[in-house]
């Protein structure tokens, strides 16, 4: 399938999820991440905050799990910049004040900036992914640009509410592939 077709279909399926099903799948994502990755060994983890009206995976479950377990990993989240093309990243702690932006995404206020080379792992948002580790997002290229600034050994881990499709036929060399993708059923490695 093409990215445009996958994006349209994945958005429709996601919007059709009940609140209870979204919670169930988000709980499974957190469990799979904790079972299959050495989260406590990372110094910095980049995590996106969910857009509720898009029925995105509830990454707050992962964040709260890290804080409740008192894991030593530090967290950072992105903020879309005024240029509409780039992201900057800011530390997230239990005490970080948040303000909601125009897209309904909470953003840190007054937090310290964290640079892309500091991340040991990045949780990557997506709408769909294929069996080769290509992903389809919302189509703005934010994460492709951001991931190019990260270290080559930083793990790129997708979070998907659904299993992979066989192949994204219009993936191209500028797309940054995932190292792994966590789904409610398990983890795919690429």
pLDDT digits (tens, 9 = 90+) for 112-122: 999 999 999 99
Q: How confident is the model at residue 172 (pLDDT cuts 50, 70, 90)?
A: confident
Q: Are 142 and 86 in contact (CB under 8 A)?
A: yes
Q: Are 136 and 128 in contact (CB under 8 A)?
A: yes
- Across the range 165-173, mean pLDDT stands at 91
Q: What is the DSSP string of 86-119?
A: -EEEEEE-TT-EEEE-TTS-EEEESPPB--GGG-
- pLDDT score at 175: 87
Q: Which two tokens stand for residue 120?
A: 């040991």
Q: Which two tokens stand for residue 44?
A: 């910095």
Q: Is the pLDDT confidence value at 36 over 80?
A: yes
Residue 138 burial by Cβ neighbours in a 10 Å radius (0-12, 13-18, 19+): middle
Mean pLDDT in the chain?
95
Can you give the pTM of this predicted structure? Answer: 0.94
Pairing of strands 180-183, 155-159: parallel
The structural domains of the chain, ordered by start, are 3-189 (3.40.50.10420)
- Across the range 6-31, mean pLDDT stands at 97
Residue at token pair 């991440």: 33
Alpha helix (H) residue ranges in the chain = 3-16, 19-36, 60-68, 142-148
Give the residue from 50, 32, 79, 15 showing the smallest Cα distance to 186.
Answer: 32
Q: Which tens digit of pLDDT belongs to each residue from 64-83? A: 999 999 999 999 999 988 88
- pLDDT score at 103: 76
- pLDDT score at 173: 78
């Amino acid at each position: 399938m093409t990215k445009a077709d996958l994006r349209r279909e994945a958005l429709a399926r996601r919007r059709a999820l009940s609140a209870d099903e979204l919670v169930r799948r988000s709980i499974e994502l957190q469990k799979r991440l904790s079972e299959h990755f050495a989260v406590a060994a990372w110094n910095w983890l980049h995590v996106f905050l969910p857009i509720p009206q898009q029925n995105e995976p509830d990454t707050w479950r992962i964040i709260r799990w890290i804080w409740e377990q008192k894991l030593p990993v530090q967290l950072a989240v992105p903020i879309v910049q005024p240029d509409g093309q780039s992201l900057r990243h800011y530390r997230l702690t239990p005490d970080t004040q948040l303000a909601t932006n125009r897209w309904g995404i909470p953003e840190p206020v007054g937090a310290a900036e964290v640079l892309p080379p500091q991340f040991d792992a990045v949780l990557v948002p997506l709408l769909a992914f294929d069996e080769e580790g290509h992903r389809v997002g919302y189509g703005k290229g934010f994460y492709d640009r951001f991931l190019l600034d990260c270290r080559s050994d930083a793990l790129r881990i997708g979070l998907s509410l659904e299993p992979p499709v066989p192949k994204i036929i219009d993936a191209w060399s500028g797309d940054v592939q995932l190292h792994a993708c966590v789904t409610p059923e398990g983890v795919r490695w690429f």
